[in-house]
Structure 1
Amino acid sequence: MAEPPAPPRFSLRQLAYFVAIAEAGTLSEAAARLRISQPAVSLALNDLERALKVQLCVRRKAHGITLTPSGSSLLVRARRLLREAEDLEAEATGTGTLTGVLSLGCYVTLAPTVLPPLLQGFAALHPEVTVEFAEDTQDVLQRRLLRGELDLAVIYDMDVMPEMARTVLFSVRPHVLLPADHPSAGLPEVSLRDLAEEPMVLLDTAPSAHHTLSLFHRFGIVPRVRHRPTGYETARALIGRGMGYGILVQRPANDRTHEGLQVVVKEIAEPIRAEPVLLAWPRHMSLNHRAREFLRFCESRGGPG
């Protein structure tokens, strides 16, 4: 008969304290977040390092802690173990109620129109789940997914890392955004070639700028970029003031800028594809119960609204 596996020399509590330390950056801040004393946090870190026989972080007075390579590696696995342990506890209790925290990322320009209906709809089904969300660029969101900081992220199908698994939620076709008094504002569609000599407002938030410029390159057109805002609403505001046109993907329902100026959406005359919006997660990580339910919920909606 095989010998039973030896229990680990560390505890889940020690892992939880280590994750809190890594995320807080200092022992004192971690202690405050955990609502325990700083010596207790320090002792747990010492015991974990002793159990694993490796240094997990470097402590510097007045500069907080810095993870070692071993600490960075453990952080990803610790987050995963803690989420799996939370799932195990929920399934063992058999309450049938989904609880805990779901960490969701969303590409910054998608967030205003995509996140609210998703959060509201999911909360109606699972009111005991807390959804913590982060808005950022796609490169940052994907790095955070790989580090285990996020469970899932809503992103465009642009510059997606090969390490990502994904499912398509819906697709949106890029459009031209014009000020209301533009000569082409009354046309059903606008050619990129007709805009080539006009000033352009280029949303410079990765990967938006690369995607927009690639559309022009595909048809041998070089746009005249005048402004490179990194904020979606800033881009709309500049366009509303007649300072250029823009190529955007996300389509808010409101055709007014924050100043009340009207902007006009026009279809692009050239043949271009609709851009898929994805829900992504790392291939090598198993989705916890909350993430699986959120994925199922998103797939059942079949659209952005």
Structure 2
Amino acid sequence: MAELMNPAPRFSLRQLAYFVAIAEAGTISEAAQRLHISQPAVSLALSDLERALKVQLCVRRKSHGITLTPTGTQVLRRARQLLRQAEDLEGEASAGEGSLTGVLSLGCFVTLAPTVLPPLLQGFSALHPGLTVDFAEATQDVLQRRLLSGELDLAVIYDMDVVPEMERAELFTMRPHILLPADHPLADRPAVSLHELAPEPMVLLDAAPSSHHALGLCHGFGVVPRVRYRPTSYEVARALVGRGMGWSILVQRPSNDRTYEGSRVVIKEIAEPVRAEAVLLAWPRAVRLNRRAEEFLRYCRDAALPTGARPEASQA
């Protein structure tokens, strides 16, 4: 006797898409505006989805939007995955084997974004003009949360404080360095010891995991820095150093030695034996990469590494 086919689900992809829109917008009315459909239609789709799944996905509060239930948070992650898989199926069925369509959601750590994202986006988009790459810049903890929640397909991050749930592929490495104002007394040296800078005020980039990395590096060599400023922006950190307000430890190395306001800064190697830090492409271990993400990973490994970020360029 032939086995019975699995029954069709009692919910639709459209209902899942409306639920994702509601969760991301925070209110049913805002989701309706983004979807360009009526508010009652969105509300009805949510109710039908909850009825089909036999769970409450969110708490509706009049004038205060919606709040996801714990079950709703889990369903949201799976809904995003199902919608992406459906998009993959549609793209593969309607396009040639070498074509990519749809949307790739990419995240990038804030300090890496200015030099890493542009060449990757330009080169990959030239190979796949039918594909849209959406990207988000954030700190590493935020990017990892968004990966695990299904909001992002991939993210470019440092190999620092990476949670065990992440799969990773190393793209290149860069050595951390000391940043000094151009007129600093030690600016003419090729390398500077952290111990020499310990008495001076430090500018600590406070964007996770940069702050943990810099402090850990200092403490590893018995140095207790005098942290004076904690900017959350990479360029603000460079500007403070450029004005002589302190020194800093950074990893990313832009080719320009000028800050936004025109002050000069200089990069100095750390005299202590520090290791090069890896830059990764990361994604959740529990998620099978779709074709768009697989092709982007292959492209990153084969080409498109930014100038100055290749391993041989970072060992100076």
Query: What band does the TM-score fall into relative to the shorter chain?
Result: over 0.9
Pairing 1:46–2:47 present: yes
Distance between the aligned counterparts of 1:125 and 1:94, measured in 2? 15
TM-score by length of 1: 0.98
Q: Does 1:70 align with 2:34?
A: no
Equivalent runs, 1:213-232 vs 2, <5 Å: 213-232=215-234
| 1: CA distance, partners of 2:236 / 2:263 | 12
Equivalence map 1:222-301=2 (5 Å): 222-301=224-303
Identity percentage of aligned residues: 74
- Superposition RMSD on alpha carbons, in Å? 1.0
Contact 1:170 1:304 in 2 (8 A): no
Q: Letter of the 2:247 partner, please give it.
A: Y
* Cα deviation digits, residues 69-102 of structure 1 (max 9, x gap): 1111100000000101111111222433211111
Distance in 1 separating the partners of 2:227 and 2:22: 44
Q: 1:174 aligns with which of 153, 173, 176?
A: 176
The count of corresponding residues between Structure 1 and Structure 2 is: 305
Which aligned pairs between 1:122-137 and structure 2 lie closer than 5 A?
122-137=124-139
SS at match of 1:206: coil
- Counterpart contact for 1:172–1:250, Cα < 8 Å: yes
2:280 and 2:199 map into 1 onto residues whose CA distance is: 34
Between the aligned partners of 1:90 and 1:303, the Cα distance in structure 2 is 28
**Deviation per residue, 1:206-261 (Å, 9 max, x gap):** 11111001111111111111111111111000000001111100011110001111
Aligned to 2:310: none
| SS of aligned partner of 2:239 | helix
Superposed CA offset, 1:48-73 (max 9, x none) = 11111111111111111111111111
* Aligned: 1:35 with 2:36: yes
- Quote the offset at 1:303 in angstroms: 3.1
Mapped to 1, the partners of 2:125 and 2:301 lie a distance apart of 16
Q: Which residue of 2 aligns with 1:208?
A: 210
Corresponding position of 1:153: 155
Provide the rounded CA distance (Å) in 1 between the counterparts of 2:44 and 2:220: 59
> Secondary structure of 2:282's partner?
strand
Mapped to 2, the partners of 1:256 and 1:67 lie a distance apart of: 46
Which whole-Å CA distance do the structure 2 matches of 1:59 and 1:215 have between them?
48
Partners of 2:60 and 2:52 lie apart in 1 by: 18
Given that residues 107 and 136 in structure 2 are in contact (C-alpha distance below 8 angstroms), is that contact kept between their aligned partners in structure 1?
A: yes
Q: What is the CA-CA distance between 1:32 and the residue it aligns to?
A: 1.1
Question: TM-score, with normalisation over the residues of structure 2?
Answer: 0.95
